[in-house]
Amino acid sequence: MKATATAPAAVTGGGLTHRQILTIMAGLMMGMFLASLDQTIVSSAMRVIADDLHNLSGQAWVITAYLITSTIVTPLYGKLSDIYGRKPFFTAAIVIFLVGSVLCSFATSMPMLAGFRAVQGLGAGGLFSLALAIIGDIVPPRERAKYQGYFLAVFGTSSVLGPVVGGFFAGQATILGITGWRWVFLVNIPIGIIALFVVNHTLRLRHTRLDHRIDFGGAAALAIGLVPLLLVAEQGREWGWGSGPALLCYGIGLAGAIAFFFVERAMGAEALLPLRLFTNRTVGVASIASVVLGMGMFGGLACLPLYLQIVKGATPTSAGLMLLPMTLGMMSGSIISGQIISRTGQYRQFPIIGSGLLVVSLFGFHYVGADTPLWQTMILMLFFGLGLGGNMQPLTLAVQNAVSPRDIGVATSSATFTRQIGGTLGTAVFLSILFTAVPNRIQTAFAKIAPTPEFQEALKNPVSPTGNPKANSDLITSLQQARSGSGGGAINPLSDSSFIQQLDPRLAKPFLVGFSQSMDLVFLIGSAVMVLAFVVVWFLPHVELRSGSSYEHRGKQDAADAALIPEGEGALPSPSR
């Protein structure tokens, strides 16, 4: 069915002023801050939450549920907002996210929390993609890069505040009679209310409603294809990659992916993710690059906090502060690339430079050990952040610039969607590699370190840095049982690693070395994946950046379409705001 305009949009006499754009961005950044803060604040408090709900291993389902729903609805938000306008769905995304936050605060078990986090994900999927789509609407591509720093400032602020605030709430027994960790979710309420107020009073854009079919079949097929694959990526290490449940997930996922392809081909221009978009070389290359970059970037990002907390003994709060060099690099890279793109109109070189920096920094992390000075690790974090800043927005900008203004929403959501797919798979697969390698690496480290005089002296006269000798005695008992063949296994670093900081440093060294060497393996694989991304981005073509905003171009297209409607058949102008 061909889309036809039912009402002409008002065509502005010119683009929005810098002040008007900043006013609109205030509401967008509030919504993005809501979602980005939630990711970091929950991750820093997750161990406390899992302990309180008596299901440490169940936290994987909490993470997976959120990722699944947010990933699946991302293209749906883009398509629906192209049809009906951005503001209603951005507002709805905030409301859904707040409802999920309230529900999470009432969770009494990990499965219940996972279900409520899935509701949160339904809202989060629209917050990121729609904010970027709206900026794509109102700011010309060449000028758009200058505003990247504002969005990166949101990510940077949340990456620092999240662990600090999450660590504070998780460390409190109760606040106002409510368990401390529940405030991790309740803190979203005042932020969300402010975001709703700001969005309602600042986001005023005209939109011409178009008659389209909604691709519910594509959405269902996408869910059938993605959910089993994301589940097996998250749970494969525990199930076994060739186990019955894993094979079943592979089969269902493959069937869903095939069904999605045929449904999208049949829907044509009405598809959730129109296949014609991916025949555009810029969109196709950027999509492949986003998947691969997402895998490498988020795989590396997942290990850095673990290195700081487990190997370096940092608290969640201090670990967040230690990541400041990466945040600084990310913001600097985005601002520098944005200013240069705005002045020159050239964007292609930044994904290439950024990918190269990610390859070098991830390969450098491969050499970071348990005894590596923190300042050296922070230098690598800075370059890693610069690489992120050179990739995140330029690729989205390239996709938005390469498509019709009417497709900005679905194109932006496809860029976000492919990055999320890569990030989800990268996080799940790389963490699986990490935890698979840890037992063997710890065992190898014990074989090398245990015979040393320092370790043997610690066995005889252990020192407790925390004043609690139980961790030392448990480890010594476990080692004695393993040596005599009478059992053991009282110590399990994969279920609870907090005991490592309670050990005599000499006894803790094999654990620290084992974890560090396992992370080295992950970083090495991540750098190899990033080499593939570096090769892919070289195929990204340069397309001249448009001088006008998509908002203006789309208004002109809508007015031209409306002029073709015979008199009496069209509706009166009814712009949605």
Nearest to 399 by CA among 136, 73, 151: 136
Instruction: Concatenate the DSSP letters of all residues of 552-569 into one string.
Output: HHHHHHHHHHHHTSPTTT
Structural contact between residues 428 and 229, judged by C-beta atoms closer than 8 angstroms = no
Which residues touch 118 (CB under 8 Å, ≥6 apart)?
65, 66, 68, 69, 100
When mean pLDDT is compared across 138-147, 171-180, 201-210, 363-372, the lowest value belongs to 201-210
Q: What pLDDT is recorded for position 554?
A: 55
Q: What pLDDT is recorded for position 92?
A: 93
When mean pLDDT is compared across 234-243, 395-404, 469-478, 568-577, the lowest value belongs to 568-577
pLDDT category at 140 given cuts 50, 70, 90 is: confident
pLDDT category at 20 given cuts 50, 70, 90 is: confident
Tokens 């598809």 locate to: 271
Q: What pLDDT is recorded for position 97?
A: 94
Cα separation, 509 vs 531, in Å, equals 33
Q: Tell which wins on pLDDT, 1 or 348.
A: 348
Instruction: Concatenate the DSSP letters of all residues of 489-542 into one string.
Output: ----TTT--GGGGGS-HHHHHHHHHHHHHHHHHHHHHHHHHHHHHHHHHTTPPP
Structural contact between residues 436 and 237, judged by C-beta atoms closer than 8 angstroms = yes
88-109 pLDDT, tens digit each: 899 999 999 999 999 999 988 8
Q: What pLDDT is recorded for position 575?
A: 40
Cα 409 off chain centre by:
19
Q: What pLDDT is recorded for position 259?
A: 92
Cα separation, 78 vs 427, in Å, equals 25
Kind and range of the H or E element at 363? helix 349-365
Structural contact between residues 300 and 523, judged by C-beta atoms closer than 8 angstroms = yes
pLDDT at 182 over 50: yes
Q: What pLDDT is recorded for position 142?
A: 67
pLDDT category at 180 given cuts 50, 70, 90 is: confident
Taking residue 264's Cβ as centre, other Cβ atoms within 10 Å add up to 22
Q: Tell which wins on pLDDT, 470 or 350.
A: 350
pLDDT at 567 over 70: no
pLDDT category at 236 given cuts 50, 70, 90 is: confident
Q: What pLDDT is recorded for position 379?
A: 93
CATH architecture of structural domain 281-463+504-538:
Up-down Bundle (1.20)
For residue 78, the one-letter residue type is: G
> Environment class of residue 108 by beta-carbon count within 10 Å: exposed (0-12), middle (13-18) or buried (19+)?
exposed
411-458 pLDDT, tens digit each: 777 777 888 788 777 777 787 788 788 888 888 888 888 888 888 887
* % of the chain residues with pLDDT over 70: 81
Same fold across 17-208 and 281-463+504-538: yes
Q: What pLDDT is recorded for position 227?
A: 80
Structural contact between residues 403 and 280, judged by C-beta atoms closer than 8 angstroms = yes
Q: Tell which wins on pLDDT, 362 or 470.
A: 362
Q: Number of helices (H) and strands (E), helices first, in the chain?
A: 22, 2
Alpha helices, H only, 268-280: 275-279
When mean pLDDT is compared across 331-345, 358-372, 518-532, the lowest value belongs to 331-345
Pick the CATH number of 17-208 from 3.90.550.10, 1.20.1250.20, 3.40.1160.10, 1.10.760.10: 1.20.1250.20
Q: How many residues does the chain have?
A: 577
Cα separation, 36 vs 25, in Å, equals 16
CA distances from 153 to 6, 34, 150, 335, 556 (A): 39, 13, 5, 10, 33
Q: Where are the domains of the chain?
A: 17-208, 216-271, 281-463+504-538
259-310 pLDDT, tens digit each: 988 988 888 777 777 888 888 888 888 888 888 888 877 767 777 877 887 8
Q: What per-residue string of b and e applies to 148-184 under the rule 16 or more CB within 10 Å gives b?
A: bbbbbbbbbbbbbbbbbbbbbbbeeeeeeeebbbbbb
When mean pLDDT is compared across 15-19, 216-220, 311-315, the lowest value belongs to 15-19
pLDDT category at 208 given cuts 50, 70, 90 is: low
Nearest to 71 by CA among 395, 391, 422: 422
pLDDT at 116 over 90: yes
At residue 5, the 3 state secondary structure works out as strand
